[in-house]
Chains A and B, each alone.
Chain A
Amino acid sequence: MEFWVIQSFNGLSYGALLFLLASGLSLIFGVMRIVNLAHGSYFLLGGYVGLSTVWRTGSFPLALLAGGLAIALVGVAMERLFLQRLHGQVLGQVLMTMGFALIFQDLALLIWGGDPYSLPAPAWLVGSLRAGALVFPIYRLFVIAVAVAIAVALWLFLERTRAGAIIRAAVDDEEMARGVGINVAGVSMGVFGLGAFLAALGGVVGGAFIGVYPGSDFEILPYAFVVVIVGGLGSLQGAIVGSLLVGLLDNFGKALFPELSYFTLFAPMAVILALKPTGLFGRA
């Protein structure tokens, strides 16, 4: 019983971290049809910028802000200066984001070196809560809280504001949106910035959770892709359900069948795709 509760909790908190990454990836895909292979790089760079901020200022909230905003700017620049020139060229855009991923990986190595770091969490997030025989680390509870807050904020933003309605219009029918006078290029840039911001936030939050180290970009990227593929591209509900599913599957897979833990993650995804090629909440 204890095993199941603790593993579920761990899966939930990992899923929460994945949600930060996958929601941005899903949004970018939904609006722009870009398969962004540099999304893991935003996570990595966000973690490193957060780390440097904590080293300089000692402030964790400042690290969240600095990491998120710096990488949002990187994302906007990438979209505006490079990706927009390839509008509609699916493959060209994918390959270009891969080029950026390689550049970011090497730049991070150049600036921060090859040593793995752990981002120091603030004192008020260290320690754990006890409930009988069960122990819940406070930091993992914090990660879950952040993800829930972001999910609610995103939902309110997309469903209840004018800007959200514009984004939904651009997701549903780009041509029609353009026709009624929506500046789709501007929306794309904003969404790319938002996606990069969320991923970088995940990097800072994850920095005190799984660490900041070279290679984490390509380690976490497949997880983010499984989330959006299972959940359905461009859907917020899909990103939420997908993150939870992947977090739980990954945790139980690792605990129960350590040898086949990736297989237990990817095989259900293949089954879902076989039944529903656009994912659980995706539209054709």
Chain B
Amino acid sequence: MAGPSRRGGRGAVGLAAAAVLLAAAPPFLSAYALTLLTQALIYAIFAMSLDILLGYTGLPSLGHAAYFGTAAYTVALLATEYRAGFWTCLVAALAAAAVAGALFAPLAIRATGTYFLMITLALGMVVWGLAFRWVSVTKGDNGISGLERPTLGPWSFAGDAAFYYLTLAFFAGAAACLVLVVRSPFGMSLMGIRESEARMRSLGYNVWLHKYLAFVLAAAFGGLAGVLWAYYNGFVSPVEVQLVTSVEALLMVALGGSGTLVGPALGAGLIVFLKNFVSLYTKRWLLILGGVYICVILFAPGGIIGALRGWGALRGWAALRRWRPPGARAT
């Protein structure tokens, strides 16, 4: 295990390289690849926000799409019914997602483990039910369409490249905020709660309050992803709020590696690209996606980041001596 300073240094170099790559990418990409990359960045924010709960606090939420959807619907309603501008929509949607989180959190965080899963699943269903059946407001199954991408002052973000940069800016901002959060004493206390709630309590931490704040924070950042998604898509429907969306976010986190922020972002990118590429070649993409989910859970329980760490540990002579051919799984 590398020391924190070395890891931090390598991490900073990696992040800078990623930022340069992402910023310089658009001219080299096809229009289709660019829209995929935009989607991947939006889902990366979503997955990172979920990981604040799952990976850092140890709370497996099965209803995270509720906040994504709440924000997306808020944007769609304000923009189409009331012609509200971008900043109004953004602030209102983030507030709506945070309020939904603040209302749901007291119910959910009384439970842990499987019960937490079930309660968040149920709460997610409440929001889905409203989106699906409250037809006079949400237009039900038909969804809300006609949402235009924003214009800010002299700049229009209607074009795919322009919207990509807007998304990238929000992604960078969200990632920076979340990195600050998880490195702060607050973030450390969340990890402490994940490891042992009883120990944190006996150290004098207000465990309930920390979990509550983590929940609301995750909901708000999940909402940010929902805002960008609503503008990206120009259309919001109950699909955004359904259980499958929540599970997909969990898989992105699991695939990338929970308990890190880079992992969920990578996982989100992979799932978005996989979904789109597989559906180009075959109609049976659900079958393949399901198979991928199962294989990831079976063979890469630590996700990509976990696998990379394992690979990193193989370097050096002592580690090489322990090396076994692929297939012979280390215990």
Contact = CB atoms under 8 A, between A and B. Distances in A.
A62 interface: no
Given A106-B290, A218-B242, A261 B133 contact: yes
B286 A262 contact: no
B36 interface: no
A106 B293 contact: no
Interface string B100-131: 00000011001101110111011101101110
Contacts of B106: 274
B121 A35 contact: yes
A251 B38 CA distance: 43
Contact of B133 (A92, A98, A260): A260
B250 A95 contact: yes
Contacts of A107: 287
Interface string A90-131: 111011101111110111001000000000000000000000
A144 to B, nearest CB: 26
Interface string A64-95: 00000000000000000010011001111011
A163 interface: no
A259 B251 contact: no
A92 B297 contact: yes
A35 B117 contact: yes
Contacts of B115: 233, 277-278
B135 interface: yes
B244 interface: yes
B291 A99 contact: yes
Contact of A266 (B125, B243, B244, B284): B125
A117 B107 CA distance: 40
A248 B247 CA distance: 29
B129 A102 contact: no
A110 B119 CA distance: 34
Given A222-B125, A259-B135, A273 B119 contact: yes
Given A233-B118, A262-B128, A218 B297 contact: no
B286 A105 contact: yes
A48 to B, nearest CB: 16
Given A95-B247, A229-B119, A262 B290 contact: no
B290 A100 contact: yes
A258 B247 CA distance: 28
A212 interface: no
A263 interface: yes
Interface string B243-255: 1100100110010
Interface string A175-205: 0000000000000000000000000000000
Nearest to A86: B297
A91 B250 contact: yes
Nearest to B291: A103
B289 interface: yes
8 closest A-B pairs (Cβ-Cβ)? A262-B129, A99-B293, A102-B290, A103-B290, A106-B286, A266-B126, A99-B294, A106-B287
7 contacts: A99-B291, A106-B287, A107-B287, A225-B118, A262-B126, A262-B132, A277-B115
Given A95-B251, A218-B243, A225-B121, 9 more contacts: A90-B117, A91-B54, A92-B254, A222-B125, A226-B125, A228-B118, A262-B133, A266-B126, A270-B123
